[in-house]
Amino acid sequence: MNKNKIWLSSPHMGGNELTYINEAFQANWIAPLGPNVSGFEDSIKTYLQTKNYGPLEVAALSSGTAAIHLALILLGVKPGDEVLCQSMTFAATANPIKYLGATPVFIDSEKDTLNLCPEQLEIAIKDRILKGKKPKAIIAVHLYGMPYKVNQIEAISKKYEIPVIEDSAEALGSTFKEQKCGTFGDFSILSFNGNKIITTSGGGALITKNKEHKDKAVFLATQARDEAPHYQHSQIGYNYRLSNISAGIGRGQMEVLDNRVAARRDMFQFYVNLFSPYKGIHVFAEPNEDYFSNHWLTVITIDEKVAGVSREELRKCLEKENIESRPLWKPMHLQPVFESDPYYGNGIAEDMFENGLCLPSGSNLSDNDRDRIREVIINCLKK
């Protein structure tokens, strides 16, 4: 039997990536600027702008983390400020708050989408204002590709006049009410890290609603050089632009994005069918037709008492057969590094962290891989 490692999510090239990279080599555009960078930005913009939601500008950057950092700077976040942030997420969502000397205020998830809980968010906003400080921004995440409760989060953002940074790192290709994720926040971010739905090996993008914000982001991402023949700086800058080589990979990947979304959704359907005869195992799905997830990762929750097997038992069964699976993101308020930061919640994120499991979901899994996964899971659930 073939025991090659089956990954949760691995890079899947489309074919044209090397063409764009070769063009870069031939023109000697081996730099963090060039035709692939602008070509990649244009293709993202065209992809997101399927309807007229208003203007959109895209800045290609070295990572999604860099994009969040720049969004916070553009929103004027300063040392001592507070930023509301979904607790159940990857640390990259919250780390840039700390880069700026600001304080994250962590918020629990709700059960329908696993994302920012509108009730807890509002409780937190009221309490922070009462304590004397109105938070500067809200960071909301479309975790595992599932859109957050866009309407409710936007309503709260409007009511309290606190802007939203939409962390769409895992949700390129997802939609809410037919509008693409990555177009909802005052600022939005994407990631093209190696494990995401498409990749540039490493990279990200900041999406803004106007040209001035994009220009400011690119200025800061290229060491904040003032207009002058020599190198002149009146602000601290960063080295955050995407390279023209990486952007070449991105252009090739954009051509196959819809196909990758279809393949991930097909993996999700595979798990729905696989688990349907079993009680106590719930495959996490869209709450209603407004939501369309790219199903970047398929997530299950296991009720050990009903299923007869715990999350850890199932994870170990898969691990023994060289199949990767993982608990959900450990909530930030439980992380040693964020221990002393405020948290508002009801135990949902903790519960998901205890009982949830992410399953192999790559767009490049073969029929043979599926057979191996099916067999291990069926045998494990038999015990």
Per CB under 6 A, residues contacting ligand PLP are 63-65, 89-90, 92-93, 141, 167, 169-170, 191, 193, 204
Q: Please, what is the minimum distance in Å from the beta carbon of residue 308 to ligand PLP?
A: 32
Q: Which residues contact 30 (CB under 8 A, 6 or more apart)?
A: 24, 243, 244, 245
Q: Which is nearer to ligand PLP, 110 or 274 (CB)?
A: 110
CB 60 to ligand PLP: min, Å: 12
Q: Least CB distance from residue 196 to ligand PLP, whole Å?
A: 6
Q: Which is nearer to ligand PLP, 97 or 381 (CB)?
A: 97
Q: Which is nearer to ligand PLP, 65 or 208 (CB)?
A: 65
Nearer to ligand PLP, 100 or 169 (CB): 169
Side chain identity at 18, as an amino acid letter?
L
Residue 349's alpha-carbon distances to 116, 291, 307, 356, in angstroms, are 10, 21, 21, 10
Number of other residues whose CB lies within 10 A of the CB of residue 331: 22
Q: Report residue 224 as tokens.
A: 């904040």
Task: Report in angstroms how near the CB of residue 2 gets to ligand PLP at its nearest.
Answer: 30
Environment class of 234 (CB within 10 Å of its CB; exposed 0-12, middle 13-18, buried 19+): exposed
Q: Which is nearer to ligand PLP, 83 or 274 (CB)?
A: 83
> Shortest CA distance to 11 belongs to which of 256, 346, 267?
256
Mention every residue, 6+ apart, whose C-beta is less than 8 A from residue 46: none
DSSP code for 266: H
Query: Residue 182 or residue 381: which is nearer to ligand PLP going by CB?
Result: 182
Nearer residue to ligand PLP within complex by CB, 190 or 218: 190
- The smaller minimum CB distance to ligand PLP, of residues 63 and 87, is found at 63
Dihedral angle, C-alpha 212, 215, 217, 222, nearest 10 °: -160
Q: How far is the CB of 182 from ligand PLP (least distance, A)?
A: 12
Nearer CB in complex with ligand PLP: 88/281? 88
Least Å distance, CB 122 to ligand PLP, is 22
Tokens of 99: 């880069």
**To the nearest whole angstrom, how small is the minimum distance from the Cβ of residue 116 to ligand PLP?**
12
Annotate 141-176 with b (16+ C-beta within 10 A) or e (fewer): bbbbbbbbbbebbeebbeebebebbbbbbbbbbbbb
**Please, what is the minimum distance in Å from the beta carbon of residue 63 to ligand PLP?**
3
What is the distance between the alpha carbons of residues 211 and 218, in angstroms, rounded to a whole number? 11
- 324 dihedral zone (left: phi>0; alpha: psi -120 to 50; beta): beta
State whether the Cα torsion 377-379-382-383 is positive or negative.
negative
Residue 302 belongs to what H/E stretch?
strand 298-302
Residue 188 Cβ vs ligand PLP, minimum distance, rounded to whole Å: 12
- In the complex, residue closest to ligand PLP by CB: 64
